[in-house]
Structure 1
Amino acid sequence: MLIERYNTAAGEGTALCGIFSDIHRAWATVDNSFFVWHFDKWDGQCQEHNVDEQAICAVGLARAKSGIFIEAIQYLLVLATPVELILVGACCSASADGTDPYAELSLQPLPEYMIATDGVTMTCITCTEKGQIFLAGRDGHIYELQYTTGSGWRKRCRKVCLTTGIGSLLSRWVVPNTFKFSTVDPIVDMVMDEERNTIYTRTEGMKMQLFDLGANGDGPLTKITEEKNIVDPLDAPYGGRRTNAPPPRTARSPKPSIVCISPLSAMESKWLHAVVVLSDGKRLFLTTSGGIGSSVGLNSGLRRPTCLKIVATRPSPPLGVGGGLTFGAVSAAGRVHPEDLALKVESAFYSAGALIMSDSSATAMSSLLAVQKGSAAQLSLPSTFGTASRASRALRETVSALPVEGRMLCASDVLPLPDAAYMLQSLYADVECFTGFRKPFEKACIKLWAKGDLPTQHILPRRRVVVFNTMGLMEVIFNRPVDILRKLFDGNTLRSQIEEFFNRFGAGEAAAMCLMIAAKLLYAEDSLISNSVSEKAAEAFEDPGLVGMPQIAGTTALSNTRTQAGGFSMGQVVQEAEPLFSGAYEGLCLCSSRLLYPIWEFPIMVIRRPAGTNKCEDGVIVCRLSAGAMEILESKIHSLETFLRSRRNKRRGLYGYVAGLGDSGSILYKTGPIIGPGGHSNGRSPYNSQIQDMDPADKSASNKKPRLLYTSAELAAMEVRAMECLRRLLRRSGEALFLLQLICQHNVARLAQTLGNDLHKKLVQLTFHQLVCSEDGDQLAMCLISALMEYYIGPEGRGTVEEISTKLKEGCPSYFNESDYKYYLAVECLERAASMANNPDERDILARDAFNLLTKIPESADLSAICKRFENLRFYEAVVRLPLQKAQALDSNADITNGQIDPRHHDTIMLQREQCYEIVMNALRTLKGVGHSRMQSADKSSGVATAVDPASRTKYIKQILQLSVQWPDTVFHEHLYKTLIELGLENELLEYGGSDLASFLQSAGRKHQEEFLQLHLELLSCMI
């Protein structure tokens, strides 16, 4: 359709094109027609919108400000013609399955939002995330298009010039444009730096201008500086100085022009703020602050720009380079190409460390050059080189050349979908790239790519850039190092190529990538990894020829696989020898730390407050991480831990070797002295031959030195133990994430209300590290689980203990064990029994079931609360036996009774036992009438009849006394007898007292002794 319309105009029409990455659309104009379509569907559908007669000269897309239009209008399409500026509403709707929020786009004309240009032809439009619309005119000025609801006499839309003074404004009103003869340098490009709230412009005469919008982006536009000769390499700002030497280019070579200006995020640099790409491929890195090294990073709003100065330059990428990471060839860094083969860059696109240039230096066909920061650890030099090249210390880049038909007109990143972006924002909200960054999260996620491929390839998808050229649209996908390794495993690759990959990236990084492939940790790409590829990656992770062997620091066994680039060393401080584990352990550490990095040291809960208030009591506690982020991260951690556990169980790699060393099972589970080389496994593990080959060296070394710190087998065992510790940490972390997901599904704020003030404060300050590794984390987890169980058990609960307990036991067994399960089952039985007031038989059965469950875990139960429930049900067997069982568990050896307890622990244990005894004593006090009102209120809450007649009261007291006397605990009997005397139950004491009553009375005071002996003799005479 576009080609036909352009041909209809005989190729003389005005045509523009661009990409709206925010809504996943490409657009083009032909004269007065505007076309827009979905760039990643390729379904041939194209939407058209026409304006009145005049050709469209500039196009922009802005977010609609809230409260002005209907909610459906999310964006505003800005169309500029030579005579008017037009706003069109853009409404996006999601697909039926909800996977694509930009599936449908409808354009809504807004006839009341048009304004005349007053004879100024606009050349470009840029918009901020706040919805501000800036336009650059051919008169060299910058305008802002402002729009409101239009209440009263004010217009709905107006155009405001931001760069003109009073004198210029009067001149424009008084003197017509016909009589103005001064030369105007129109602005042809305008770029917004959202992070620092600045605007860069480029004029037709290759001048660069810098404007400031204030710290918050809502201040008046202020012109900071203008640089006229920024592209002249003979001038000082370019980075050189004038000399008598001939210039590097011939007199005929044209002066390079600016083809691209892009801001640099704080993630890429804290003191470099923009990069300029020239037509010869060179790149100029600019700063807007006074000096290099001044930290202008995340809080750049506190320091406003003062200048525009070149800090560093980067030569053009070398020609004749293709494929990026090529194996078997020396890196092209530092190669110099002939001058007659200089690049001819027509257009360029830079974003978050990636640069795409359209080169037309070749006469046959143009090409796309993709330039990225190199991720490799060192140059791919032959192993005979003793040291790496010094050139490897410099910034390394990978360059890929792709021949294409046509020339690039524009390009843009393919932004992640909002759900994925929100997940990433939730994970990295407190990390540097998102701190202080406004919505939308999709663009903030792009900045994560600036960290490089190695730290982010486990969580970010492959990077995609859509390119609009003269032949149509194409998509460029950047392969990460892990994608290259996966392709090596997927084909019939020679071992030498795998070894070269390990040499290039280092054994640790390469092993981490093997783990990602073997455990299928790649972002949403598990389906791309076959089982055969996964198994090959696992074997490479365990291959000592690739990852090396554990050794003592200072040996040279891993010099080929672990040496990092850095040049020749003149000597180092001699350090004490220490174990240096293999690349497999280093890779596991890298993989684990990158998974846990965005959550480990950050709070897991935050207080969300209403806008405009800072009071803690006005806020609601919520989880910092979204449910989707926790689910994805927990899935990746679980996959990694499952892989490690399967290799351990199959005795693969070092696990297999260590398991074959005699009594080796303890090395994986217990502490103690590390086993020596007492035996070797008869298995086929490649570690056997490696370690056997190393043992003679150990023996020879022992002849030269007084002693050998560790043998090879001991080093292997130490590494296995370290890997097992890491595996357990991953398992615990995965369980913590599972628990957080379950708690968040049941309203964290409601569960947190059950906590006291101290626990509530601790919960808000609790980090993920503390939840996983500290006692406070265990305590808070137990309290939250208890609140969750109470919700299920309570009258508003929507489920059973069995249902929620199954989830807890399967997902986080270290936080919820079998004793917890039995306890909450018992509580559920008691809740059901409390509701059976009219069915005493069923009530007694449920109470008996609860008692039987609790007798298995007396030391784990909260008896003060649970026994009150039994007391309300008149089930006094549990009220007596459960506290006494717990007291016995606290002093299982009866040390207090035998007088053999350590004096340091006597008071503590005695206090705990007395607390158990008091539960029984309180039940007696309640029956006697002391604390009766408290019992009535408790009974009323349980729904049980509270009236107790005197006969029943006497029966219950008798039952308690009989059960108590039967228990063989003399210390408890003393407390019981004292309480009976206190309550005036002397007759019951003498009637039901145990065999130790006489000795108790003998040890009592003289007054009580005579009185109670007399009563005791009278009772005996009556019985005879």
Structure 2
Amino acid sequence: MPAAMSPAVPAGHEALEIAGRIIDRQIQDDRCYPDLSELLAVPAPGSPTVSGMTDMDYPLQGPGLLSIPNLPEISSVRRVPLPPELVEQFGHMQCNCMMGVFPEISRAWLTIDSDIFMWNYEDGGDLAYFDGLSETILAVGLVKPKGGIFQPHVRHLLVLATPVDIVILGLSCANTQAGIGSLNDSLSGGMQLLPDPLYSLPTDNTYISAITSTDNGRIFLAGKDGCLYEVAYQAEAGWFSQRCRKINHSKSTLSFLIPSLLQFTFSEDDPVVQIAIDNSRNILYTRSEKGVLQVYDLGQDGQGMARVTSLSQNAIVSAAGSVARTIDRSVFKPIVQIAVIENSESIDCQLLAITHAGVRLYFSTSQFKHPAARPSMLTLVHVRLPPGFSASSNVEKPSKVHRALYCKGVLLMAASENEDNDILWCINHDSFPFQKPMMETQMTTRVDGHSWALSAIDEFKVQKIVTPLNKDIIPITDSPIVVQQHMLPPKKFVLLSAQGSFMFHKLRPVDQLRHLLVSNTGGDGEEIERFFKLHQEDQACATCLILACSNAACDREVSAWATRAFFRYGGEAQMRFPSALPPPSHVGPLLGSPIPPVSPLTVDSPYPSPSLLTTPGPGLQPVGVSTPIFPPGNSVSHPGTSVSSGMMGPEIVFSGRHNGICIYFARIIGNIWDGSIVVEKIFKSGNREVVAIESSVPSHVLGCVLQELKGLQEFLDRNSQFATVGALGNPSFSTPANLQQRLLGFMRPDGGSSQQVQQELQRKYHAEAQLTEKTSLQGIQQLVRKTCQALALWKLLCEHQFSVVVGELQKELQEHLKMTAFKDLVIRDKELTGALIASLINCYIRDNAAVDGISTHLQDICPLLYSTDDAVCSKANELLQRSRQAQNKLEKEKMLRESLKEYQKISNQVDLANVCAQYRQVRFYEGVVELSLTAAEKKDPQGLGLHFYKNGEPEEDAVGLQAFQERLNSYKCITDTLQELVNQSKAAPQSPSVPKKPGPPVLSSDPNMLSNEEAGHHFEQMLKLAQRSTDELFSIALYNWLIQVDLADKLLQVTAPFLEPYLVRMTKIDQNKVRYMDLLWRYFEKNRNFSNAARILAKLSDLHSTEISLQQRLEYIARAILSAKSSTAISSIAADGEFLHELEEKMDVARIQLQIQETLQRQYSHHSSVQDAISQLDAELMDITKLYGEFADPFKLSECKLAIIHCAGHSDPILVQTLWQEIIEKELSDSVSLSPADRMQALSLKMALLGKIYAGTPRYFPLGKWFSLHSV
């Protein structure tokens, strides 16, 4: 399929989700097949029904209404003659001969008098015999023995009954190492009858007519005396039990103690001729010569025995006659065979009886819908007449049936045509598994000779994958053969007669299609078209894909023919219109009641939904698509939803090709799709239990599923033409979202809808439907590809000790994995697949194995899950981990640098924090810096983060914000590492301590921990490397970090060009301006930019802030003056000189402000108003007027007022005289408690102090002459 997606294609993940829901629905549809009781239309055990009397019960039995291809039901019969040695033995027969089949070991057997012969019925070879008995053999049975009694090589027991005794022989297999459950128990490798009997016990004159066993090794015997016996055996004799004994279950449990001659018979002589055992429910049935059926309950565990009920032949005939009143009752007897219906086939029906006329009588032993119920009755629930009973049938009815076999819905009957030949009937409903009521096909073939035995060969059974996640939705019964035919071989049967063994297969629908393709020598023809009609397009396409997707060399030609048939008869997507729909009542009378329909795609749901797998039913077909014969249960659709009043909208009906692909995909993957990936298993380890996480599916099963799925993927890739769009290629038509609006454009103004309008709509929307189907198919193809790769990964994990790989995951991921279904792993959980792959690779690294091989393999099998970047990451991880073991320092550094180069290639995808943490552990701090900076650059190659920052971080710029955050996250790895080094460099060294006990010293700290000196050294080196970065945004992040951790001094060592703009910007926008202005002037001063330093200092001194004290402001001015003087010394710019003069004047005023503050603190600090004034004086520098008017004058600070007018050059002799008078009075007032001499001393000191200040300006010091005289 082309990679380019049309405008209708949703985003990748959405397309996967939609495709996943389609597959969910299809799997659910396949699981909703009807039970046998539903097919037979039996509502309850008390309401028996009859079928077989209408044409549609057997559509092949007459001309009928339909033209159906003549399909073979069974393959051509292969005859293998009896071994010549056996034919000779017939001439020596004196008393009796019997023949039968042991399918468990692929052997046929023949008894002639007291000898038994066994041979391989497949080729007539490997003949073996046992002649150790002296009495005529009356019955033969093969038993799988109970566990723990015999040696492992004894795989089966051969039970032989004679008139005198019952002998049990051991059958050993040469190949005892064969896998459990392998076909034929691997006995084809050689078998041997042990010469000495394991057990032998007397028959007590009981004629044994049949021997049967249960799967758990119990042996039951049918007695000619009408009794059911059991041979109980054990390893050793006990106090009250023998090693082997015979129990009569029909009379007394003590019968083995009483000779049969002494037993009292309570019933007339009616020999038991057949025993049938239902191993799935642990129920045993017997059939007597006179047609009496008995039921025994073997208990829930299969170890019990209780007789439940019996039903006489007369009662059976009466019940059948009351149901089929128009049928001659003679066809209901005698019963020639009974067969169990296991719970894998039906929950409600348990037993089938076949009469000599081919009539099937279905029985139930418990109430319906109770799969765990024990048997409590035997009730006839249905009578199924054979072909030939409908009014228009031209098929001859079966008669003289003497042998029958029922196996999973397939009925084989051998009927005597004459003394020399048999007619073999095959009846089954494999072609109509979803059709209710049951429809069957039939076929007859002539068999040379009289049939002595008829047996099904043990078939391969698909193991259901039942896990905690899907256990409640997996049906108890097995899926129909049409659902499993892609992985189940055809059923194999063998018929024995005196002429030899006749082997044949029951053909699956796919085998029938192969037969048609081969016989028609191509992918087209009337017979093939009829096959597609018979099975409905979507189901036929799914069957066709099995052949089309086959990669077997022998199927190459058939595959090409199947592909041709798929495209020729698979139909195409249609837009269906309500006015073209005939009444639905056309469906009912002919075909009965289909299962509940599903909703097709309508205009209200433009994309495929879980209810989308629809194909039109009879009479519901759009123009140009042939009408199918039978509607499968999931194929009936309804008209679309209403678009406007009185007008129903069209609906898109996908083609059979589309639905067939979905069906086939769902059937391939259905066994594991919604199941858990892992299950917990408990193992014994010594005396404790260990819980291990294991794969829920064995590796070989995953391999089989993967092989099938790869075939489908290759088919989709090879045949992209199924997605071809129609003639209408306008992109506007590829947007289903506006389908309703476009539909309204074709409506007539009056709301009516003429035939012409409908035709126009149909023509226009034909291409619309095709385009929608193409969109859906692209999603399905994407899902197939992703599923293939997820399966390949799962299988690979199983091949690498699954539990060990999963054990490497974090606990949270392990718990998440337990709750994850396979479909979620495919569609949604990329994180989990990544973690599993990483865990697998870590196992290699931990074992010191190279990852190149596994990395290449992962890229080959799952490139969507493990990309080239992932491979690079794995290589880098390997180098990093190996560097830990490197002893040579140069080699270690080389590995680390190589790992850095690899990581840098994929730095935008790597787990940066994790890698940097590992680099820190190996002290590769250079790698932390370089990798983090590379990652930041790759995540934001256009520099949007810096643009966002410089633009003031606008909220509406979401893209810029994301880039900004991505970069900051990358930078954080560097600053976190620096912080760690800072902490270690400041950590208190451990003090020596007295050891707690004798012996070597105990390391109480991490041996890899850095010393304070080492940490400090690494910090300096890393900081220097970081400062060399040309990444402006990183430099800003680094500056911010240095300031936050009080390492501003380190900031001033930076020579990068980004520091000055950073500090300037921060002084403008940050609330903490003081810190950044303080750093900025220091930066200018360090770089000898004295002019700017002076101006920043001046701004700092003027800054209105409570953070700066008045004393600091004076220091700022003083530093500003020094810087200004340095600047004027360097340059002779006039502005610098003027600025210096301004600073000096500002200093004079600032000193007066400080004088005021100190005076207030010294004299009036206890007043609250004074405290406010002191704080105000700290908050900012004030002009001289404000100082006088708001502080010096209100608080009567005469000295300060004098200083102010002196500074201002204000000449007012009276004011000066007054101020001096106040100063003297204040001084005398303050010293009133002292002696006159001391008071005069204090006043003199004050005058001398002020004189030094004002002596040079007499107008501010009128007492100068007096003071000088006094001082002398």
- Do they fold alike, i.e. is TM over 0.5? yes
Q: Which has the higher contact order (CA 8 A, sep 6+)?
A: 2
Q: After superposition, what is the alpha-carbon deviation per residue over 1:495-544, rounded to whole angstroms, capped at 9, x for unaligned?
A: 222222222222222222222221117xxxx344133x32222122222x
AA at the equivalent of 2:546:
M
Q: State whether structure 2 residue 401 is matched by structure 1 residue 335.
A: no
Q: State whether structure 2 residue 215 is matched by structure 1 residue 132.
A: no
- What SS does the corresponding residue of 1:19 show, helix, strand or coil? strand
AA at the equivalent of 1:64:
P
For the Cα contact (< 8 Å) 2:420–2:450, is it kept in 1?
no
CA distance in 2, matches of 1:632, 1:166: 50
**1:312 match:** 382
CA distance in 2, matches of 1:583, 1:63: 47
State the shift of 1:282 in Å: 1.0
Q: After superposition, what is the alpha-carbon deviation per residue over 1:298-340, rounded to whole angstroms, capped at 9, x for unaligned?
A: xx33x11121111111113349xxxxxxxxxxxx9962667xx
AA at the equivalent of 1:196:
R
- What SS does the corresponding residue of 1:752 show, helix, strand or coil? helix
For the Cα contact (< 8 Å) 1:607–1:620, is it kept in 2?
yes
**1:278 match:** 355
**1:628 match:** 700
For the Cα contact (< 8 Å) 1:928–1:983, is it kept in 2?
no
For the Cα contact (< 8 Å) 2:676–2:819, is it kept in 1?
yes
State the shift of 1:882 in Å: 2.0
1:529 alignment partner, one of 552, 555, 559: 555
The percent identity for this pair of structures is: 27
**1:587 match:** 660
**2:161 match:** 80
State the shift of 1:102 in Å: 1.9
State the shift of 1:84 in Å: 2.0
AA at the equivalent of 1:880:
V
**1:295 match:** 369
State the shift of 1:356 in Å: 1.1
**1:466 match:** 494
AA at the equivalent of 2:788:
G
CA distance in 1, matches of 2:755, 2:930: 67
AA at the equivalent of 2:106:
H
CA distance in 2, matches of 1:595, 1:406: 42
- What SS does the corresponding residue of 2:719 show, helix, strand or coil? helix
AA at the equivalent of 1:994:
A
State the shift of 1:431 in Å: 8.6
For the Cα contact (< 8 Å) 1:499–1:546, is it kept in 2?
no
Gaps of 5+ in 1: 320-331, 379-391, 438-446, 678-698
State the shift of 1:640 in Å: 0.8
Q: After superposition, what is the alpha-carbon deviation per residue over 1:625-666, rounded to whole angstroms, capped at 9, x for unaligned?
A: 111111111111111111111111xxx3552x55x7668899
AA at the equivalent of 2:574:
P
Matches within 5 A, 1:41-80: 42-80=123-161
State the shift of 1:611 in Å: 8.0
Q: State whether structure 2 residue 537 is matched by structure 1 residue 507.
A: yes
Larger Rg: 2
Q: After superposition, what is the alpha-carbon deviation per residue over 1:752-797, rounded to whole angstroms, capped at 9, x for unaligned?
A: 22323332122112111111112xx212111111111111222x14
Q: State whether structure 2 residue 481 is matched by structure 1 residue 411.
A: no
CA distance in 2, matches of 1:860, 1:614: 47
- Do the aligned partners of residues 828 and 934 (structure 1) sit closer, same or farther apart at CA in structure 2, a change above 3 Å counting? farther
Matches within 5 A, 1:552-567: 552=576, 554=581, 556-557=622-623, 560-562=626-628, 564-565=630-631
CA distance in 1, matches of 2:253, 2:977: 91
- Do the aligned partners of residues 334 and 630 (structure 1) sit closer, same or farther apart at CA in structure 2, a change above 3 Å counting? farther
**1:203 match:** 288
State the shift of 1:478 in Å: 1.6
Q: After superposition, what is the alpha-carbon deviation per residue over 1:391-420, rounded to whole angstroms, capped at 9, x for unaligned?
A: x9642222111111112122222224xxx6
- What SS does the corresponding residue of 1:225 show, helix, strand or coil? strand
**2:565 match:** 540
CA distance in 1, matches of 2:334, 2:989: 90
- Do the aligned partners of residues 572 and 703 (structure 1) sit closer, same or farther apart at CA in structure 2, a change above 3 Å counting? closer
CA distance in 2, matches of 1:851, 1:700: 73
1:767 alignment partner, one of 795, 805, 821: 821
For the Cα contact (< 8 Å) 1:2–1:30, is it kept in 2?
no
Q: After superposition, what is the alpha-carbon deviation per residue over 1:871-925, rounded to whole angstroms, capped at 9, x for unaligned?
A: 3444433211322343455555112453135488999877765543332123324
**2:832 match:** 780
For the Cα contact (< 8 Å) 1:354–1:373, is it kept in 2?
yes
CA distance in 2, matches of 1:145, 1:175: 19
Q: After superposition, what is the alpha-carbon deviation per residue over 1:446-468, rounded to whole angstroms, capped at 9, x for unaligned?
A: x85xx443212211112211112
2:674 alignment partner, one of 597, 601, 625: 601
Q: After superposition, what is the alpha-carbon deviation per residue over 1:221-275, rounded to whole angstroms, capped at 9, x for unaligned?
A: 1111111125764x13544488xx9x837xxx79831111001123433221111
CA distance in 2, matches of 1:174, 1:874: 93
- What SS does the corresponding residue of 2:303 show, helix, strand or coil? coil
Q: After superposition, what is the alpha-carbon deviation per residue over 1:60-85, rounded to whole angstroms, capped at 9, x for unaligned?
A: 22222222211111222222222222
Q: Give the TM-score of the pair, scaled to structure 1.
A: 0.80
Q: RMSD in angstroms over aligned alpha carbons?
A: 4.3
Matches within 5 A, 1:797-876: 797-798=848-849, 800-840=850-890, 842-876=891-925
1:454 alignment partner, one of 482, 502, 513: 482
Q: State whether structure 2 residue 111 is matched by structure 1 residue 19.
A: no
- What SS does the corresponding residue of 1:59 show, helix, strand or coil? strand
Q: State whether structure 2 residue 569 is matched by structure 1 residue 496.
A: no
CA distance in 2, matches of 1:127, 1:924: 78
**1:923 match:** 977
CA distance in 2, matches of 1:948, 1:851: 26
AA at the equivalent of 2:1051:
L
- What SS does the corresponding residue of 1:858 show, helix, strand or coil? coil
CA distance in 2, matches of 1:598, 1:957: 58
Matches within 5 A, 1:347-366: 347-362=403-418, 365-366=421-422
- Do the aligned partners of residues 147 and 910 (structure 1) sit closer, same or farther apart at CA in structure 2, a change above 3 Å counting? farther
Gaps of 5+ in 2: 1-84, 582-620, 642-648, 743-752, 991-1002, 1091-1129, 1131-1272
- Do the aligned partners of residues 944 and 550 (structure 1) sit closer, same or farther apart at CA in structure 2, a change above 3 Å counting? farther
**2:926 match:** 877
CA distance in 2, matches of 1:747, 1:125: 46
CA distance in 1, matches of 2:346, 2:867: 49
Q: After superposition, what is the alpha-carbon deviation per residue over 1:847-871, rounded to whole angstroms, capped at 9, x for unaligned?
A: 2222222222222111222123333
CA distance in 2, matches of 1:397, 1:115: 48
**1:732 match:** 786
AA at the equivalent of 1:279:
H
**1:680 match:** none
- Do the aligned partners of residues 228 and 662 (structure 1) sit closer, same or farther apart at CA in structure 2, a change above 3 Å counting? closer
- What SS does the corresponding residue of 1:371 show, helix, strand or coil? strand
CA distance in 2, matches of 1:539, 1:4: 54
State the shift of 1:740 in Å: 0.3
AA at the equivalent of 1:211:
Y
Matches within 5 A, 1:95-244: 101-103=186-188, 104-111=190-197, 113-150=199-236, 153=239, 154-165=241-252, 172=258, 176=262, 183-219=268-304, 221-230=305-314, 233=317, 235-240=318-323
CA distance in 2, matches of 1:434, 1:982: 59
State the shift of 1:209 in Å: 0.8
For the Cα contact (< 8 Å) 1:239–1:311, is it kept in 2?
no
AA at the equivalent of 1:557:
V
- What SS does the corresponding residue of 1:560 show, helix, strand or coil? coil
AA at the equivalent of 2:845:
I
CA distance in 2, matches of 1:268, 1:398: 19
Q: State whether structure 2 residue 1038 is matched by structure 1 residue 976.
A: yes
Q: Give the TM-score of the pair, scaled to structure 2.
A: 0.65
For the Cα contact (< 8 Å) 2:465–2:672, is it kept in 1?
no
State the shift of 1:175 in Å: 6.9
